[in-house]
Structure 1
């Protein structure tokens, strides 16, 4: 994710205007070319999950591939992730993730899918070459079979809020000092409502037996946000972390920051909690050299070369 300063944007606009003034009259009369669609910030869009094949270096027909997961984790994200997993079949592709977090239950569901498949998870960003999934006009060539082209950028990766629960699910978990991995208190919205209902009952042998119950009205009461970890939720999270091989003491670090802020997990905390098991940069998972080794890495996928006319 690249952030441009106001000064940089102003200089870019100035240079563009100078270029246009310096152009020939013939060039000015040409039809205005369609500008490429800008990349959407992962803060602004729900989790997009696609399969990507390395575009750097001459690796064909055997190249590294990975699952790129970028964006906010929503209630729909598990279904999106499940669709991507169905696409790769039994391939062991690493998940390269960048996310500002979101729905905790959805993150846990995705984590269960990843662990069931025995996939690795790495914090990193994906830069797309040519057609990109955030472009509405993007139409992949048929021969690519729904697989995008790109490369992994370690420095663009971050994983915060609910995202570390997905990272925790990796068979191997990659994250280094280049990545921002952070947590904060888990917040829950508690909503109460006043319900009036009509109940019909009989007294049988001195005991009340309900015959029917019909709701007459519902009146929402005031909602409130709670950061107190419910015992049932705490038990669920502890069981999840233990299953993934991550120390449950990670949960104590969530209390270091309120929901409106973020506590960055440092190297020793990532190692001692076992949230990260390997500091290898995520970009290394997409290196061509992985496919030149004997045997090649599990995420090296061969494709049939198209016969040239």
Structure 2
């Protein structure tokens, strides 16, 4: 309940069903056991956290970004970035998605810093104290995480990773979207936010095909997983070489059937405060792997 209250935000939600996340990178990346996957799944249920992973002397290191994008995430990133030389660094994503407009804001900050992006699960302290950190490639990047991936100046997605998309929807009506009623103001808000997402997509160098694929998946269907051809068609992938985003790091897929069960995750929020007439407040419900509670809605000026 405390977590749900802390995730109250305004706006539309990206909604969908699937096991998700974003992960990658490392010397030789393998999961020690399914327990490690469980830890990653639990982390993806929490607000996004950032961490610097050092792998010197032969590797610069990377930024680990794990969890849900909330209205606090852009601010949290600024606090993390303060005093660090992050220009041109790589962000390894492991996320179920989250706030629409806050993801847009964070993505623009990524691009301004010239960051590179990929999908993966960071693994630390493998095989003893002197072992280098690694990144496992079987991971999930869903909903607005996909648009954070797009923010990278260079973008790499390993074969074992799962990148999934779906529609924007009203968070307070995502559980039973077909039975809910909608006002003209509701339609105005969702069209406004689709416009923001479209502009961001093109500003980041993405293709209209990404929006088309995402906006064709309603909230009562499973998320659509992009295959290798679609990753290229949407321009989400700009390189097939992991060395372009993680030099001196080998990436391998863990021998696991699945990281997480398929359940619906619903998130979304605005980029900045909007006039009262066009604002909605929604409660972000539990992401992948949890039982979602019904979100509450209220107005916010």
TM over 0.5: yes
Distance in 1 (alpha carbons) for counterparts of 2:240 and 2:87: 23
8 Å Cα contact 1:190/1:224 also seen in 2: no
Asked whether 1:98 is paired with 2:99, we answer no
- TM-score with structure 1 length normalisation? 0.58
The RMSD of aligned alpha carbons is: 3.4
Q: How many residues align?
A: 205
Which structure 1 residue ranges, 4+ long, deviate > 3 Å from structure 2? 1-5, 222-229, 281-284
Structure 1: state its 5+ residue gaps.
Answer: 10-37, 131-148, 192-221, 290-309
Map of 1:24 onto structure 2: none
Structure 2: distance between partners of 1:152 and 1:178: 12
Q: Deviations over 1:221-249 (max 9, x none)?
A: x9869799833222211211111111123
Name the residue aligned to 2:51.
50
Aligned counterpart in structure 1 of residue 163 of structure 2, from 181, 188, 211: 181
| 8 A Cα contact 1:185 1:256, kept in partner | yes
- Larger relative strand fraction: 1
Going from structure 1 to structure 2, the CA distance change for 1:224 and 1:150 (only over 3 Å counts) comes to farther
Match of 1:251 among 211, 216, 219: 211
Cα distance change of structure 1 residues 283 and 40 upon mapping to structure 2, 3 Å threshold:
farther
- After superposition, the Cα gap between the structure-2 partners of 1:189 and 1:70, relative to the gap in structure 1 and judged at 3 Å, is closer
Q: Equivalent residue of 2:54, what SS?
A: strand
Aligned equivalent of 2:110:
114
TM-superposed deviation, 1:89? 2.5
Q: 1:30-58 CA distances to partner (integer Å, 9 max, x unpaired)?
A: xxxxxxxx83523322111011012xxxx
Q: Which has the larger radius of gyration?
A: 1
Question: Can you list the C-alpha shifts for 1:87-144, whole angstroms capped at 9, x where unaligned?
Answer: 42354211110111111111111101000111111111101228xxxxxxxxxxxxxx
SS, match of residue 203 in structure 2: helix
Deviation of the 1:66 alpha carbon: 0.4
Unpaired runs of at least 5, structure 2: 1-22, 24-30, 127-131, 174-179, 251-301
Which stretch of structure 1 is more off in the superposition, 102-111 or 225-234? 225-234
TM-score (norm 2): 0.59
